[in-house]
A = this chain, B = another copy of it.
Amino acid sequence: MNRVTELFNIKYPIVQGGMVWCSGWKLASAVSNNGGLGLLGAGSMRPEILREHIQKMQKATDKPWGVNVPLLYPDIDQLIQILIEEKVKIVFTSAGNPAKWTGLLKENGMTVVHVIANGRFTKKCEDAGVDAIVAEGFEAGGHNGREETTTLTLIQHIRQLTSLPLIAAGGIGTGKGMLTAMTLGADGVQIGSLFAASEESSAHSEFKKCIIETGEGGTQLSLKKLAPVRLIKNAFFEQVQKAELEGASALDLQKLLGKGRAKKGIFEGDMIEGELEIGQIATLINEVKPVKEQMTELLKEYNEAKQEIANNTRFQF
Protein backbone atom coordinates (compact mmCIF):
# COMPACT_ATOMS: atom_id res chain seq x y z
CA MET A 1 0.00 0.00 0.00
CA ASN A 2 1.41 3.39 -0.94
CA ARG A 3 0.43 6.79 -2.27
CA VAL A 4 -0.04 5.52 -5.82
CA THR A 5 -2.21 2.54 -4.90
CA GLU A 6 -4.23 4.83 -2.61
CA LEU A 7 -4.59 7.61 -5.16
CA PHE A 8 -6.09 5.27 -7.75
CA ASN A 9 -7.55 2.71 -5.35
CA ILE A 10 -5.68 -0.16 -7.02
CA LYS A 11 -3.91 -3.21 -5.65
CA TYR A 12 -0.48 -2.85 -7.26
CA PRO A 13 1.29 0.41 -8.19
CA ILE A 14 1.51 -0.64 -11.83
CA VAL A 15 0.12 1.65 -14.51
CA GLN A 16 -0.19 0.43 -18.08
CA GLY A 17 0.99 3.12 -20.47
CA GLY A 18 -1.66 4.60 -22.78
CA MET A 19 0.19 3.65 -25.94
CA VAL A 20 -1.02 4.55 -29.41
CA TRP A 21 -2.51 1.60 -31.34
CA CYS A 22 -1.96 -0.81 -28.41
CA SER A 23 -4.01 0.49 -25.52
CA GLY A 24 -7.65 -0.14 -26.32
CA TRP A 25 -10.33 -1.36 -23.92
CA LYS A 26 -9.16 -4.99 -24.09
CA LEU A 27 -5.68 -4.22 -22.80
CA ALA A 28 -6.72 -1.55 -20.32
CA SER A 29 -9.50 -3.65 -18.79
CA ALA A 30 -7.21 -6.68 -18.50
CA VAL A 31 -4.67 -4.61 -16.56
CA SER A 32 -7.32 -3.10 -14.31
CA ASN A 33 -8.95 -6.48 -13.71
CA ASN A 34 -5.58 -7.83 -12.63
CA GLY A 35 -4.90 -5.20 -9.99
CA GLY A 36 -3.08 -2.50 -11.97
CA LEU A 37 -4.32 0.70 -13.57
CA GLY A 38 -5.27 0.30 -17.22
CA LEU A 39 -5.21 3.36 -19.47
CA LEU A 40 -6.92 3.87 -22.81
CA GLY A 41 -4.55 5.53 -25.27
CA ALA A 42 -6.57 8.38 -26.78
CA GLY A 43 -3.60 9.49 -28.91
CA SER A 44 -4.59 7.08 -31.67
CA MET A 45 -8.38 7.41 -31.36
CA ARG A 46 -10.73 9.77 -33.13
CA PRO A 47 -13.10 11.32 -30.59
CA GLU A 48 -16.01 8.98 -31.28
CA ILE A 49 -13.72 5.95 -31.17
CA LEU A 50 -12.55 7.08 -27.75
CA ARG A 51 -16.16 7.29 -26.61
CA GLU A 52 -16.76 3.76 -27.85
CA HIS A 53 -13.71 2.44 -25.97
CA ILE A 54 -14.77 4.25 -22.80
CA GLN A 55 -18.20 2.68 -22.98
CA LYS A 56 -16.77 -0.80 -23.59
CA MET A 57 -14.36 -0.22 -20.73
CA GLN A 58 -17.22 0.61 -18.38
CA LYS A 59 -18.70 -2.79 -19.14
CA ALA A 60 -15.42 -4.71 -19.08
CA THR A 61 -14.28 -3.76 -15.59
CA ASP A 62 -15.59 -2.39 -12.34
CA LYS A 63 -12.04 -1.58 -11.24
CA PRO A 64 -10.41 1.86 -11.59
CA TRP A 65 -9.00 2.81 -14.99
CA GLY A 66 -8.10 5.96 -16.90
CA VAL A 67 -7.40 7.62 -20.23
CA ASN A 68 -4.12 8.97 -21.55
CA VAL A 69 -4.55 12.18 -23.54
CA PRO A 70 -1.71 13.80 -25.47
CA LEU A 71 -2.41 17.52 -25.06
CA LEU A 72 -1.16 18.35 -28.54
CA TYR A 73 -3.97 16.24 -30.04
CA PRO A 74 -5.66 18.26 -32.82
CA ASP A 75 -9.22 17.69 -31.55
CA ILE A 76 -8.27 18.08 -27.91
CA ASP A 77 -11.40 20.09 -27.02
CA GLN A 78 -13.63 17.31 -28.27
CA LEU A 79 -11.65 14.66 -26.41
CA ILE A 80 -11.86 16.59 -23.15
CA GLN A 81 -15.60 17.05 -23.65
CA ILE A 82 -16.01 13.28 -24.04
CA LEU A 83 -14.01 12.61 -20.87
CA ILE A 84 -16.35 14.93 -19.00
CA GLU A 85 -19.54 13.56 -20.57
CA GLU A 86 -18.53 9.98 -19.93
CA LYS A 87 -17.51 10.78 -16.36
CA VAL A 88 -14.00 9.39 -16.71
CA LYS A 89 -12.35 9.42 -13.28
CA ILE A 90 -8.63 9.29 -14.04
CA VAL A 91 -6.78 11.16 -16.79
CA PHE A 92 -3.08 11.03 -17.66
CA THR A 93 -2.04 14.00 -19.79
CA SER A 94 1.17 14.06 -21.82
CA ALA A 95 2.96 15.92 -24.60
CA GLY A 96 1.99 19.42 -23.61
CA ASN A 97 1.63 21.97 -20.84
CA PRO A 98 -0.46 20.81 -17.86
CA ALA A 99 -1.50 24.39 -17.07
CA LYS A 100 -4.22 24.58 -19.70
CA TRP A 101 -6.44 21.59 -18.92
CA THR A 102 -5.72 20.37 -15.40
CA GLY A 103 -8.09 22.86 -13.76
CA LEU A 104 -11.07 21.91 -15.89
CA LEU A 105 -10.45 18.19 -15.44
CA LYS A 106 -10.13 18.60 -11.68
CA GLU A 107 -13.32 20.68 -11.55
CA ASN A 108 -15.03 17.70 -13.11
CA GLY A 109 -13.84 15.44 -10.33
CA MET A 110 -11.02 13.73 -12.18
CA THR A 111 -7.69 12.60 -10.78
CA VAL A 112 -5.08 14.16 -13.07
CA VAL A 113 -1.56 12.87 -13.68
CA HIS A 114 0.90 14.53 -16.05
CA VAL A 115 3.80 12.86 -17.87
CA ILE A 116 7.16 14.64 -17.94
CA ALA A 117 10.68 13.77 -19.08
CA ASN A 118 12.62 16.43 -17.21
CA GLY A 119 12.79 18.33 -13.94
CA ARG A 120 11.95 21.69 -15.50
CA PHE A 121 8.33 20.59 -15.88
CA THR A 122 7.98 19.51 -12.25
CA LYS A 123 7.10 23.01 -11.07
CA LYS A 124 4.58 23.43 -13.91
CA CYS A 125 2.90 20.22 -12.78
CA GLU A 126 2.74 21.40 -9.19
CA ASP A 127 1.41 24.81 -10.20
CA ALA A 128 -1.23 23.21 -12.40
CA GLY A 129 -2.39 21.14 -9.44
CA VAL A 130 -1.88 17.63 -10.79
CA ASP A 131 -2.30 14.72 -8.36
CA ALA A 132 0.78 12.80 -9.46
CA ILE A 133 3.61 12.85 -11.97
CA VAL A 134 4.89 10.24 -14.40
CA ALA A 135 8.59 10.76 -15.11
CA GLU A 136 9.71 8.97 -18.24
CA GLY A 137 13.34 8.18 -19.02
CA PHE A 138 15.33 7.89 -22.25
CA GLU A 139 14.73 4.13 -22.38
CA ALA A 140 11.05 4.59 -23.12
CA GLY A 141 9.49 3.79 -26.47
CA GLY A 142 7.77 6.44 -28.55
CA HIS A 143 8.11 10.13 -27.86
CA ASN A 144 10.82 11.09 -25.49
CA GLY A 145 12.60 14.03 -23.85
CA ARG A 146 15.30 16.09 -25.49
CA GLU A 147 17.53 15.85 -22.41
CA GLU A 148 17.92 12.08 -22.94
CA THR A 149 17.98 11.60 -19.18
CA THR A 150 17.71 7.93 -18.28
CA THR A 151 15.35 6.56 -15.67
CA LEU A 152 18.22 5.95 -13.24
CA THR A 153 19.13 9.64 -13.07
CA LEU A 154 15.69 11.09 -13.79
CA ILE A 155 13.75 9.46 -10.95
CA GLN A 156 16.26 10.47 -8.29
CA HIS A 157 16.31 13.99 -9.68
CA ILE A 158 12.54 14.44 -9.85
CA ARG A 159 12.20 12.95 -6.35
CA GLN A 160 14.46 15.76 -5.07
CA LEU A 161 12.32 18.39 -6.80
CA THR A 162 8.82 17.41 -5.70
CA SER A 163 6.97 15.53 -2.98
CA LEU A 164 4.07 14.62 -5.32
CA PRO A 165 3.34 10.92 -5.87
CA LEU A 166 5.78 9.83 -8.55
CA ILE A 167 5.40 7.11 -11.17
CA ALA A 168 8.53 5.98 -13.02
CA ALA A 169 8.45 5.09 -16.71
CA GLY A 170 11.03 4.05 -19.26
CA GLY A 171 12.91 0.76 -19.25
CA ILE A 172 10.62 -0.95 -16.74
CA GLY A 173 9.24 -4.34 -17.71
CA THR A 174 10.45 -6.66 -14.97
CA GLY A 175 9.90 -7.00 -11.24
CA LYS A 176 13.53 -6.04 -10.61
CA GLY A 177 13.11 -2.95 -12.74
CA MET A 178 10.01 -2.08 -10.75
CA LEU A 179 11.81 -2.43 -7.43
CA THR A 180 14.67 -0.39 -8.84
CA ALA A 181 12.38 2.48 -9.79
CA MET A 182 10.80 2.49 -6.36
CA THR A 183 14.20 2.38 -4.67
CA LEU A 184 15.15 5.49 -6.63
CA GLY A 185 12.14 7.30 -5.17
CA ALA A 186 9.11 6.41 -7.28
CA ASP A 187 5.84 5.28 -5.69
CA GLY A 188 4.85 3.22 -8.70
CA VAL A 189 5.70 2.39 -12.30
CA GLN A 190 4.22 2.88 -15.73
CA ILE A 191 4.89 -0.02 -18.06
CA GLY A 192 4.50 0.23 -21.82
CA SER A 193 6.50 -2.17 -23.99
CA LEU A 194 5.70 -5.29 -21.98
CA PHE A 195 1.96 -4.65 -22.26
CA ALA A 196 2.29 -3.70 -25.93
CA ALA A 197 3.42 -7.31 -26.37
CA SER A 198 0.54 -8.79 -24.35
CA GLU A 199 -2.18 -10.89 -25.92
CA GLU A 200 -4.74 -8.21 -25.10
CA SER A 201 -2.80 -5.39 -26.79
CA SER A 202 -4.54 -4.21 -29.94
CA ALA A 203 -1.25 -4.04 -31.83
CA HIS A 204 -0.87 -6.20 -34.94
CA SER A 205 0.56 -9.67 -34.35
CA GLU A 206 3.48 -8.81 -36.66
CA PHE A 207 4.36 -5.88 -34.40
CA LYS A 208 4.19 -8.08 -31.29
CA LYS A 209 6.45 -10.60 -33.02
CA CYS A 210 8.82 -7.77 -33.84
CA ILE A 211 8.97 -6.69 -30.17
CA ILE A 212 9.85 -10.25 -29.19
CA GLU A 213 12.60 -10.37 -31.79
CA THR A 214 14.03 -6.95 -30.94
CA GLY A 215 17.36 -7.52 -29.26
CA GLU A 216 20.16 -5.41 -27.88
CA GLY A 217 20.63 -2.14 -29.76
CA GLY A 218 17.45 -2.88 -31.70
CA THR A 219 15.87 0.51 -30.95
CA GLN A 220 17.20 4.05 -31.17
CA LEU A 221 16.05 7.57 -30.45
CA SER A 222 15.32 9.04 -33.86
CA LEU A 223 13.84 12.09 -35.62
CA LYS A 224 15.50 14.41 -33.11
CA LYS A 225 15.08 17.45 -35.35
CA LEU A 226 11.32 16.96 -35.19
CA ALA A 227 10.38 15.37 -31.87
CA PRO A 228 12.62 12.61 -30.51
CA VAL A 229 10.98 9.19 -30.74
CA ARG A 230 12.42 5.74 -29.94
CA LEU A 231 11.92 3.37 -32.86
CA ILE A 232 12.75 -0.17 -33.79
CA LYS A 233 15.51 -0.14 -36.43
CA ASN A 234 13.45 -1.28 -39.41
CA ALA A 235 13.73 -0.13 -43.02
CA PHE A 236 11.83 3.10 -42.33
CA PHE A 237 14.16 3.89 -39.42
CA GLU A 238 17.18 3.32 -41.66
CA GLN A 239 15.79 5.78 -44.21
CA VAL A 240 15.44 8.40 -41.48
CA GLN A 241 18.90 7.60 -40.14
CA LYS A 242 20.48 8.02 -43.56
CA ALA A 243 18.70 11.32 -44.11
CA GLU A 244 19.78 12.57 -40.67
CA LEU A 245 23.41 11.61 -41.20
CA GLU A 246 23.34 13.54 -44.46
CA GLY A 247 22.06 16.62 -42.64
CA ALA A 248 18.34 16.50 -43.54
CA SER A 249 16.32 19.47 -42.28
CA ALA A 250 13.26 19.22 -40.05
CA LEU A 251 11.12 19.83 -43.14
CA ASP A 252 12.85 17.00 -45.06
CA LEU A 253 12.20 14.68 -42.13
CA GLN A 254 8.58 15.76 -41.86
CA LYS A 255 8.09 14.88 -45.53
CA LEU A 256 9.82 11.54 -45.09
CA LEU A 257 7.66 10.74 -42.05
CA GLY A 258 4.39 11.74 -43.68
CA LYS A 259 1.20 10.78 -41.88
CA GLY A 260 -0.10 7.62 -40.28
CA ARG A 261 3.18 5.72 -40.08
CA ALA A 262 2.70 4.57 -36.48
CA LYS A 263 -0.70 3.15 -37.42
CA LYS A 264 0.78 1.50 -40.49
CA GLY A 265 3.42 -0.24 -38.40
CA ILE A 266 1.85 -0.95 -35.04
CA PHE A 267 -1.78 -1.48 -36.02
CA GLU A 268 -1.58 -2.66 -39.63
CA GLY A 269 1.58 -4.71 -39.25
CA ASP A 270 3.76 -3.15 -41.94
CA MET A 271 7.22 -3.84 -40.49
CA ILE A 272 8.99 -2.22 -43.45
CA GLU A 273 7.35 1.17 -43.84
CA GLY A 274 5.78 1.56 -40.39
CA GLU A 275 7.00 3.71 -37.50
CA LEU A 276 7.60 1.10 -34.81
CA GLU A 277 7.59 2.69 -31.36
CA ILE A 278 8.94 0.53 -28.55
CA GLY A 279 11.24 0.85 -25.53
CA GLN A 280 14.75 -0.50 -24.90
CA ILE A 281 13.40 -3.10 -22.51
CA ALA A 282 12.11 -4.98 -25.58
CA THR A 283 15.48 -6.74 -25.36
CA LEU A 284 14.15 -8.59 -22.30
CA ILE A 285 10.66 -9.35 -23.63
CA ASN A 286 10.70 -12.80 -25.18
CA GLU A 287 7.14 -14.00 -25.38
CA VAL A 288 3.62 -12.71 -26.04
CA LYS A 289 1.58 -13.51 -22.92
CA PRO A 290 -1.78 -12.68 -21.40
CA VAL A 291 -1.76 -9.69 -19.05
CA LYS A 292 -2.66 -11.91 -16.12
CA GLU A 293 0.58 -13.87 -16.48
CA GLN A 294 2.61 -10.71 -17.04
CA MET A 295 1.24 -9.18 -13.85
CA THR A 296 1.83 -12.35 -11.84
CA GLU A 297 5.43 -12.55 -13.04
CA LEU A 298 6.10 -8.87 -12.35
CA LEU A 299 4.88 -9.18 -8.77
CA LYS A 300 6.65 -12.46 -8.17
CA GLU A 301 10.00 -11.13 -9.34
CA TYR A 302 9.45 -7.89 -7.41
CA ASN A 303 8.85 -9.71 -4.15
CA GLU A 304 11.69 -12.18 -4.73
CA ALA A 305 14.07 -9.29 -5.37
CA LYS A 306 12.91 -7.65 -2.14
CA GLN A 307 13.59 -10.85 -0.24
CA GLU A 308 17.00 -11.20 -1.82
CA ILE A 309 18.02 -7.68 -0.81
CA ALA A 310 16.97 -8.40 2.76
CA ASN A 311 18.47 -11.87 3.09
CA ASN A 312 21.25 -12.50 0.60
CA THR A 313 24.72 -11.78 1.96
CA ARG A 314 25.77 -10.38 -1.42
CA PHE A 315 23.92 -7.19 -0.43
CA GLN A 316 25.49 -6.91 3.04
CA PHE A 317 28.44 -4.73 4.06
Could you tell me which residues of chain A, from 62 to 79, have a CB within 8 Å of some CB in chain B?
none
Q: Does A107 contact B (CB under 8 A)?
A: no
Q: Does A34 contact B (CB under 8 A)?
A: no
Q: Does A177 contact B (CB under 8 A)?
A: yes
Q: Does A174 contact B (CB under 8 A)?
A: yes
Partner of A138, one of B118, B138, B147, B283: B138
Partner of A176, one of B149, B150, B156: B156
A171 proximity list for chain B (CB < 8 A): 150, 152-153
Could you tell me which residues of chain A, from 296 to 317, have a CB within 8 Å of some CB in chain B?
299, 305-306, 308-310, 313-317
Q: Does A32 contact B (CB under 8 A)?
A: no
Q: Does A124 contact B (CB under 8 A)?
A: no
Does A284 lie within 8 Å of B180, measured CB to CB? no
A217 proximity list for chain B (CB < 8 A): 118, 146-149
Complex Cα distance A156/B174, Å?
9
A310 proximity list for chain B (CB < 8 A): 306, 309-310
User: Given A152-B151, A216-B157, does the pair A317, B11 have CB atoms closer than 8 Å?
Assistant: yes
Instruction: Give chain B nearest CB distance to A317 CB in angstroms.
Output: 5
Contact with B along A231-267 (1 / 0, CB 8 A): 0000000000000011100000000000000000000
Q: Does A47 contact B (CB under 8 A)?
A: no
Does A182 lie within 8 Å of B247, measured CB to CB? no
Q: Does A280 contact B (CB under 8 A)?
A: yes
Complex Cα distance A294/B245, Å?
41
- Beyond contacts A148-B220, A153-B171, A247-B247: 4 other A-B pairs, Cβ-Cβ < 8 A, are A147-B217, A149-B216, A176-B184, A177-B184
Residues of A within 8 A of B (CB): 1-3, 5, 11-13, 118-120, 137-139, 146-153, 156-157, 160, 170-172, 174, 176-177, 179-180, 182-185, 187, 216-217, 220-221, 225, 245-247, 280-281, 283-284, 299, 305-306, 308-310, 313-317
Which 7 pairs between the two chains have the least Cβ-Cβ distance? A247-B247, A147-B217, A2-B314, A152-B171, A150-B150, A180-B180, A153-B280
